[in-house]
A and B are shown apart, each in its own frame.
Chain A
Amino acid sequence: MIQTVSQGKSLGIYVHIPFCRSRCEYCDFYSLRGGRSKELMDRFLQALLAHIKETAQLAPGYEVDTVYFGGGTPSFFGADGLRRIFQELDRRFAVSKDAEVTLEANPDSVNERMLGKLRRAGFNRISLGVQTDDDIQLKALGRPHNYEQAVKAVQAARNAGFRNLSVDLMYGLPNQSREQWMTTLRHVLDLKPEHISCYGLKVEPGTPLYEYGHCANLPDDDMQADMYLYAVETLGEFGYTQYEISNFAKEGMESRHNLKYWTGGEYLGFGPSAASDFAGKRFTCKADLETYITGVMGGGQILSECESIALRERAGEYVMLRLRTTVGIAEEEYSKTFLLPFGPLEQLLRLYERKGLAKLDAGRWSLTPKGFLLSNQIIGQLLEAQQNSTPIAKLH
Chain B
Amino acid sequence: MTDLSKIRNFSIVAHIDHGKSTLADRLLESCNAVELREMEDQLLDNMELERERGITIKARAVKLEYRADDGQDYVLNLIDTPGHVDFNYEVSRSLSACEGAILVVDASQGIEAQTLANTYLAIDEGLEVLPVINKIDLPAARPQEGKKEIEEVIGLPAMDAPQISVKNGLNIHSVLEMIVKQVPPPSGDRSAPLRALIFDSQYDSYRGVIVYLRVMDGVVEPGMEIKMMATGAVYKVVETGYLQPRGLQPAQGLGAGEVGYLTASIKNVADTRVGDTVTGAQNPAGEALPGYKAVQPMVFSGVYPADGSKYGDLRDALEKLKLNDASMSYVQENSIALGFGFRCGFLGLLHMEIILERLEREYNLDLITTAPNVVYHVTKTNGETVEVYTPLNYPDPAEIAQAEEPYVKASIITPQEYVGNIMELCQQRRGEYRDMTYLDQTRVELHYEMPLNEIIYDFFDALKSRTRGYASLDYELLDYRPSRLVKLDILLNGEVIDALSFIIFADNAYPRARKICEKLKENIPRQMFEIPVQAAIGGKVIARETIKALRKDVLAKCYGGDITRKKKLLEKQKEGKKRMRSFGTVSVPSEAFMAVLKLDD
Contacts and interface: CB of A to CB of B under 8 A. Distances in A.
A284 B561 contact: yes
A374 B561 contact: no
Interface in B541-584: 550-561, 563-564, 566-567, 569-570, 573-574, 577
B556 A245 contact: yes
A329 B264 CA distance: 72
Nearest to A367: B554
B150 to A, nearest CB: 51
The 10 closest A-B pairs by CB, nearest first: A225-B551, A275-B561, A221-B552, A275-B560, A376-B553, A199-B556, A225-B552, A200-B556, A373-B552, A380-B573
Given A320-B567, A380-B570, A373 B551 contact: yes
Contact of B552 (A224, A383, A384): A224
A221 B551 contact: yes
Given A225-B552, A282-B564, 13 more contacts: A200-B556, A221-B550, A221-B552, A228-B552, A274-B560, A275-B564, A276-B560, A277-B560, A277-B563, A372-B554, A374-B550, A374-B554, A376-B569
A347 to B, nearest CB: 13
A261 interface: yes
B438 interface: no
Contacts of A355: 528-529
A14 B567 CA distance: 21
Q: Is the interface of B mostly helix, strand, loop or mixed?
A: loop
Contacts of A228: 552
Interface residues of B, number: 24
A383 B558 contact: no
A332 to B, nearest CB: 25
A275 B552 contact: no
Contacts of B567: 316-317, 320
A274 B554 contact: no
13 contacts: A228-B552, A246-B557, A269-B561, A277-B560, A317-B563, A374-B552, A374-B554, A375-B554, A375-B555, A376-B569, A377-B550, A379-B570, A383-B574
A227 to B, nearest CB: 10
B584 to A, nearest CB: 12
A267 B557 CA distance: 17
Contacts of B553: 373-377
Nearest to B551: A225
A275 B554 contact: no
B57 to A, nearest CB: 40
Contact of B558 (A14, A261, A277, A380): A261
B550 A321 contact: no
Contact of A383 (B556, B559, B563, B570): B570
Contacts of A269: 560-561
Contacts of A291: none
A93 interface: no
A373 B556 CA distance: 9
Interface in A218-250: 221-222, 224-225, 228, 245-246
A129 to B, nearest CB: 13
A368 interface: no
A170 to B, nearest CB: 9
Given A282-B564, A321-B563, A384-B574, A262 B552 contact: no
A169 to B, nearest CB: 11
Contacts of A221: 550-552
A273 B528 contact: no
A258 interface: yes
A383 B572 CA distance: 13
A377 B556 contact: no
Contacts of A14: 560
B554 A200 contact: yes
Contacts of A317: 563, 567
